[in-house]
Amino acid sequence: MNYRQLEIFAAVMRTGTASKAAELLGITQPAASRALVELEGSLGFSLFDRVRQRLLPTPEAWQLYRTVEASFRGLDTIKTEAARIRDQGTGRLRIASLSLLGSTLVPRAIGRFRAHHPDISVTFHVLLSRDVRDLVASGQFDVGLAADEIDTTGIAHQLFLSPNAMIAMPVGHPLSERSVIKPADLSGHPFIAYVPEDRARQRLEAILAQVGVKLNIVVETIYASTVCSLVVEGVGIGLVSPYVLSSLDKSRIVLKPFEPSVQIRTLLVLPPDKQKSLLVRDFITALMESR
């Protein structure tokens, strides 16, 4: 017994004759009749009584037909679901991001993604980078964006962004007239710094150490948005990514390039040893296009 024999049997039951079933399936009438005989042989009971060149279904045939039709309906459901997965993916996307990109780039990417996948449910959390890493590593989230100081063991990762950092200062600050800020310019000015484990802070301090400049740190924090808020309040100046620009009140804060360059790097992180679904690949494309 095989699928083709059952398909021919069901077609005969629906159409009433082997010739009509053969026409429906695009095969010859002898091939259809031969398949029925082979099916009866494998089943061990008759499916049809042959009366005056007509096929009259037996009670056993009707019982089998109900089971076969139910199986075919299940197969149709499987085909439909396979097509949906092919076209749309698994139906849900879970995204985690560090704060820096959580109110700017990632929302733009989600907008791009949903323009092509309007029926897909998206979960989006803005978290500390270490929490982004842990949720992605455990498979609870599909895609993450995290600062480069995270532990990258146990996750797939690649560099996503590495813009040159800028110095944020209040409007009217003495350094605001300069076109470029140099290491010596930072000497003595109150400075709002990231926490010591932040890689951008470490890169900045390494550059300053080469010329004998030490930061006058007055506040340490985690988020670039907090740095900007403190700058606006006149607490000090700070190092930020240019990606904060879209959320700044430009009437109260100024960003100036810093040289030599200090990169603020963001990693794209994915669950380990896992093939990316169509949805994940499409969202990564949206992220790349939103940079």
pLDDT tens digit string along 184-197? Answer: 999 999 999 999 99
Domain count, the chain: 3
d(CA 111, CA 291): 13
pLDDT tens digit string along 20-70? Answer: 988 888 999 999 989 999 998 999 999 988 887 788 999 899 999 999 888
CATH number at residue 39: 1.10.10.10
154 & 271 share domain: yes
Question: What is the per-residue pLDDT for 246?
Answer: 76
Query: Of residues 72 and 171, which shows the higher confidence score?
Result: 171
What is the dihedral sign for C-alpha 4, 9, 10, 15?
positive
141 & 283 share domain: yes
Residue keyed to tokens 């996750």: 155
| Partners of residue 181 on adjacent β-strands | 258
Question: What is the per-residue pLDDT for 81?
Answer: 63
Instruction: State the residue range of the domain holding 137.
Output: 92-160+266-290
56 & 103 share domain: no
Strands 156-161 and 216-221: unpaired
Question: What is the per-residue pLDDT for 278?
Answer: 85
Question: What is the per-residue pLDDT for 151?
Answer: 95
Does the structure show a pLDDT above 90 at 110? yes
The pair phi, psi for residue 83, each rounded to 5°, is -65, -40
Does the structure show a pLDDT above 90 at 235? yes
Q: Which bin fits 172, alpha (ψ -120 to 50), beta or left (φ > 0)? A: left
Question: What is the per-residue pLDDT for 87?
Answer: 57
d(CA 215, CA 200): 14
Nearest CA-CA partner of 166 in 40, 254, 34: 254
Does the structure show a pLDDT above 70 at 200? yes
Structure tokens that stand for 55 in this block: 């096929």
Residues 259, 181 contacting (CB under 8 angstroms): yes
Query: Of residues 31 and 249, which shows the higher confidence score?
Result: 31
Question: What is the per-residue pLDDT for 143?
Answer: 97
Query: Of residues 19 and 159, which shows the higher confidence score?
Result: 159
156 & 177 share domain: no
Does the structure show a pLDDT above 70 at 198? yes
Nearest CA-CA partner of 24 in 37, 34, 13: 13
Q: Which residues touch 231 (CB under 8 Å, ≥6 apart)? A: 168, 169, 170, 192, 237, 238, 253
Residues 254, 237 contacting (CB under 8 angstroms): no
pLDDT > 70 in the chain, percent:
96
Question: What is the per-residue pLDDT for 220?
Answer: 97
Does the structure show a pLDDT above 60 at 231? yes
99 & 181 share domain: no
Q: Which residues touch 147 (CB under 8 Å, ≥6 apart)? A: 98, 100, 129, 198, 199, 264, 265, 266, 267
d(CA 198, CA 200): 6
User: Which of 54, 87, 120 is the last residue before a domain boundary?
Assistant: 87
d(CA 291, CA 283): 13
Confidence band (pLDDT; 50, 70, 90) for 89? low
CATH number at residue 113: 3.40.190.10
What is the average per-residue pLDDT within 210-215? 96
Structure tokens that stand for 248 in this block: 């700044």
248 & 275 share domain: no
d(CA 234, CA 171): 9
pLDDT > 90 in the chain, percent:
68
pLDDT tens digit string along 262-280? Answer: 999 999 999 987 778 889 9
Confidence band (pLDDT; 50, 70, 90) for 168? very high
30 & 145 share domain: no
Confidence band (pLDDT; 50, 70, 90) for 248? confident
Of 74-83, 93-102, 216-225, 267-276, the poorest mean pLDDT is in: 74-83
